[in-house]
């Protein structure tokens, strides 16, 4: 299971989500969710002024 979300970068919520066990990406950084889930690259990218965070749960193939 993949849990992910985003926040407006100026809100500086990265430390909060890190404490909750999420990986916080740098602004503009992408995450490839497709290769692990479906075997094809699918990139999630934050929009301008946004930061993404995610956490994988369960066994990854």
DSSP 3-state assignment of 57? Answer: coil
* Mean pLDDT along residues 4-8: 93
Contact 51, 11 (CB under 8 A): no
Q: What angle do CA 59, 47, 25 make, to 5 degrees?
A: 45
Contact 10, 49 (CB under 8 A): yes
The model's pTM: 0.80
**Tens of pLDDT along 25-49?**
998 888 888 887 788 999 988 889 9
DSSP 3-state assignment of 36? Answer: helix
> What integer best gives the mean pLDDT of the chain?
88
DSSP 3-state assignment of 5? Answer: strand
**What is the pLDDT, as a whole number, of residue 50?**
94
């Amino acid at each position: 299971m993949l849990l992910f979300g985003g926040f407006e970068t100026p809100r500086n919520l990265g430390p909060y989500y890190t404490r909750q066990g999420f990986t916080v990406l740098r602004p503009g950084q992408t995450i490839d969710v497709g290769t692990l889930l479906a075997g094809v690259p699918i990139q999630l990218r934050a929009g301008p002024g946004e930061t993404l965070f995610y956490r994988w749960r369960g066994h990854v193939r």
